[in-house]
Amino acid sequence: MISKKMEEAIGRGSVIRSMFEEGCRLAEKIGPQNVYDFSLGNPSIPSPDEIRMAAIDILQNEEPTKLHGYMNSAGFEEVRCAIAKHINLRHNINITAKNIVMTVGATCGLCIVFHSILDPGDEVITLAPFFSEYRNYVEGNGGKLVVVPTQDQTFQPDLKKLEKAITPNTKAVIINSPNNPTGVVYSPDTIQSIALLLQKKSREMGRAIVLVSDEPYREIIYREETIVPYVLNYYENSFIVYSFSKSFSLPGERIGYVAFSNHIPNQELVAQGLSMAIRSLGYVNAPALFQKVIGKCIDVPVNVKEYKANMEALFSHLKKIGFSCVKPEGAFYLFVKSPNPNDNEFAESAKKYNILVVPGSFFGYPGYFRVTYCVSNDKIINSFPQWTKLAEEYSLRTEQQ
């Protein structure tokens, strides 16, 4: 009864989800305090107080039939206005509510963009390592995912490889900065180079290549001087897919938006396409209550203090005991070189010490593993002796103090 396509997707499964479930089973057996589950990116910092207060205020004061009723599928106009104003102020741009569609998180945002732009046979390029759900989002909406590796060790885009991968079938390129799983951030120069390359290739191929920037970690950065460039300022055929799942710790509430450039050709049609896609994919519209909450809280600062402390502590410890890894500039993941070239075997061996990590193969980049550090700081510190035992198993060399 199930389609072949769905059977294939089920077969690929999600290593992250099954690790997480394994972590829950292990916690029941040996107690949660003894399990070091670094698999799932579930934020550990509570949502800002302002979110709860706004939700209560809205529920108490708004007229229920309006609050809970059907609406324009792009979302409440006043919320989209508030978001456009927020973006314009921060990024020196001039978009309006018309350039915003409220979504059911970044997942919905990516799906409606691909659903709106892809024709059969179209290819979408992603840069590996990549968030593995992209395959479902692209293939589920009629496209073919093409994977292009980033530069060794730095995980920055490899422009030459990207250029070579572009064919007359290329419809879009997805970028994700701050990146899951590496934590790297693409600089303004890098974004400028990608934009110039896509302009050149669009001319050569005689069709617009779309740049899709997936940005759920935009505010989760660790150094004041880090700039996360706003791609709408660099490339006209671009979409930003944003989510409040990570910045405001709201993954279960399913709220985000898509913003598109006001230089994009056929703006009206693009807006209609996204609105049509949100209905035809069965989302209909983003959750009403949380749209309103975001409208009130859009300017609330994002707290990254605990993530930064976790990152610094875990990064230093892993380095000290001989693991090698690029220092993240953002998001909440470390992408560490596996001492066993077979990263699946390595992840299995980590389980002996009750450490759960995700093999790099799952992100299209074997030979590495991902450690998610959005957990309590105690969990990070208590895991150190286990990490040390794991490093000893692989005879890693301890850094001299």
Ligand X SMILES: Cc1ncc(COP(=O)(O)O)c(C=O)c1O
Asked if 364 is part of the footprint of ligand X (rule: CB under 6 A), the reply reads no
Structure tokens at 120: 């059969």
- CB-wise, 48 or 105, nearer to ligand X? 105
User: Judged by CB, which is closer to ligand X: 132, or 388?
Assistant: 132
Residue with tokens 């005991």, as numbered in its chain:
321
CA distances from 245 to 20, 106, 132, 302 (A): 18, 8, 17, 12
Report if residue 251 touches ligand X, rule: CB under 6 A.
yes
The answer to whether residues 142 and 118 touch, using CB atoms and an 8 Å cutoff, is yes
CA distances (Å), 345 to each of 96, 339, 348, 354, in order? 50, 10, 5, 15
| Beta carbons of 113 and 121 less than 8 angstroms apart | no
| Residue in 23, 216, 330, 364 binding ligand X, rule: CB under 6 A | 216
Interface with ligand X, residue 129, by CB under 6 A: no
Q: Exactly one of 37, 123, 139, 214 binds ligand X (CB under 6 A); which one?
A: 214
Min separation Cβ 75 and ligand X, Å: 15
**Cβ atoms 13, 136 nearer than 8 A:** no
Element (DSSP H or E) covering residue 356: strand 355-356
Among 116, 243, 249, 383, binds ligand X (CB under 6 A): 243
Instruction: Answer yes or no whether residue 105 interacts with ligand X by CB under 6 A.
Output: yes
- Residue 397 is given by DSSP the state P
Q: Note whether 183 binds ligand X by CB under 6 A.
A: no
**Cα within 13 Å of Cα(12), Cβ side:** 15
Q: Considering beta carbons, is residue 183 or 251 the nearer one to ligand X?
A: 251
- Cα dihedral 116, 176, 104, 98 sign: negative
Pairing of strands 368-372, 358-359: antiparallel
Is residue 333 at the binding interface for ligand X, with CB under 6 A as the rule?
A: no
DSSP codes, 276-330: HHHHHTT--S--HHHHHHHHHHTTSPPP-HHHHHHHHHHHHHHHHTT--BPPPSB
Task: Find the binding residues for ligand X in span 263-302 (CB under 6 A).
Answer: none
State the nearest-atom distance from the C-beta of 65 to ligand X, in Å. Answer: 28
- In whole angstroms, the minimum distance from the beta carbon of 106 to ligand X comes to 4
Cβ proximity to ligand X: between 186 and 387 the closer is 186
* 123 vs 214 by CB, closer to ligand X: 214
Residue 256 near ligand X by CB under 6 A: yes
Choices 2-10, 26-34, 56-64, 105-113 (CB under 6 A): range interacting with ligand X: 105-113
Give yes or no for residue 253 binding ligand X (CB under 6 A): no
Q: Which is nearer to ligand X, 104 or 195 (CB)?
A: 104
Contacts to ligand X by CB under 6 A: 41, 105-107, 131, 176, 180, 214, 216, 243, 245, 251, 256
